[in-house]
Chain A
């Protein structure tokens, strides 16, 4: 059964959930939520909810994995069976394996893995509720969890997706906008170093639209980055001050 495409952006620039074009969903962040992990974080973007746990540096389970000059970063992005509308098979799908890889590659440039040769740093990300933008939420959670674990990092990674819906460029698209939209572009950055660590584009954007979208993403990323820093400060630095 194919449903009719709903109207997602009204003429005065208000989206289906009442947000403006350049507005993030309500964001919630928390660190140190798991007691057994070296570091952990919970991140919520509207109805997208993600938990990340970091273990290590520790000895990798298989000897062949070790690198003589740095730690290996291992990432697992996984969606819980109950996270979607239809039950998701818990076995890692092709999509999850790929997202694990892109998340790992987005984190590798900021993690100072050369400080821990012959060890592994393991990041486990569990999506408990999926409503679009799970990979960006996962990245935000993973970078908070790494900082929480005390792993030295050059910068935090902040991520947000930009989409094109009904011809408008919109920030932080959700599931409905992604399903009926024309484009979806997740962007992750290390904002202090002005470095893009992940950029994907699904759909079609003209060159002009692309640079506009990137600027919009930059704005969103900086907002997320601010929230991340605030979360870490509130948890660890308020008492010192």
Chain B
């Protein structure tokens, strides 16, 4: 009975969901003065096993990178031991409202020992990376096989490099370059 009443609620911020003795506040809800209230616009979803009530949003979701999400980012600058990334979109190519700063440390480039980042990444490259920290500036990792550079440009003439076997070659000036390439190099459709 009571459960039905709760699930029928349609909530805006500040609306009462139930009392704290009935359910603990989950995502989108909070407790104040013994009452569970909604923090967003949406409808309640109850979990009777855990006694938790969530409020599912019906409007704009907040789109932010989180730990574990795959993102695309542009390499802005490269030092010996770290590189700065401009995180542009998630792996489904949904852009973030504004770019976020990402940091790639040498230890997160390869499973083997890396002496200098310059041999693996260059400014202007487009990376696919995994976010490994909670808040901006986000730390990212490209250690996995499918992660790494997905688009790179020739440092001599600027043409887009092509992947041949394990090396990248320039179709224009025939020079070869080394990168930590993703298994998906050259297949990118967006960004």
Contacts and interface: CB of A to CB of B under 8 A. Distances in A.
| Same assembly | yes
Interface of A: 38-39, 55-59, 66, 110, 112, 116-119, 147-156, 190-193, 229, 232-233, 235-237, 240-241
A118 B10 contact: no
Contact of A155 (B10, B14, B58, B97): B14
Nearest to B58: A236
B136 interface: yes
Contact of B59 (A110, A148, A193): A148
A227 B57 CA distance: 20
Nearest to A229: B12
B10 A56 contact: no
Contacts of B97: 38, 55-56, 58
B28 interface: yes
A53 to B, nearest CB: 12
Contacts of B160: none
Contacts of A232: 12, 41
Given A154-B13, A155-B14, A193-B14, A149 B39 contact: no
A202 B148 CA distance: 61
Chain B interface size, under 10 / 10 to 19 / 20 to 34 / 35 or more: 20 to 34
Given A148-B59, A156-B13, A191-B14, A59 B37 contact: no
21 contacts: A55-B98, A59-B99, A59-B136, A110-B13, A116-B62, A118-B137, A119-B135, A119-B136, A150-B40, A150-B60, A151-B62, A152-B39, A152-B40, A154-B14, A154-B30, A229-B15, A232-B12, A236-B41, A240-B10, A240-B43, A241-B10
A39 B59 CA distance: 10
Nearest to B96: A58
- Tell which of A55, A59, A119 has the most Cβ of chain B within 10 Å: A59
B61 interface: yes
Contacts of A236: 41, 58-59
A178 B174 CA distance: 77
B100 interface: yes
- Tell which of B28, B98, B99 has the most Cβ of chain A within 10 Å: B98
A153 B60 contact: no
Given A155-B14, A192-B16, A58 B98 contact: yes
Given A58-B97, A59-B136, A112-B39, A233 B14 contact: no
B176 interface: no
Closest CB pairs A-B (n = 3): A155-B14, A152-B39, A192-B14
Contacts of B78: none
Given A59-B99, A190-B14, A192-B15, A147 B136 contact: no
Given A58-B98, A59-B99, A237 B41 contact: yes
A215 to B, nearest CB: 21
Contacts of B99: 59
Contacts of A150: 40-41, 57, 59-62
Contacts of B61: 150
B17 to A, nearest CB: 12
Contacts of A241: 10
Interface string B29-54: 01011000101110100000000000
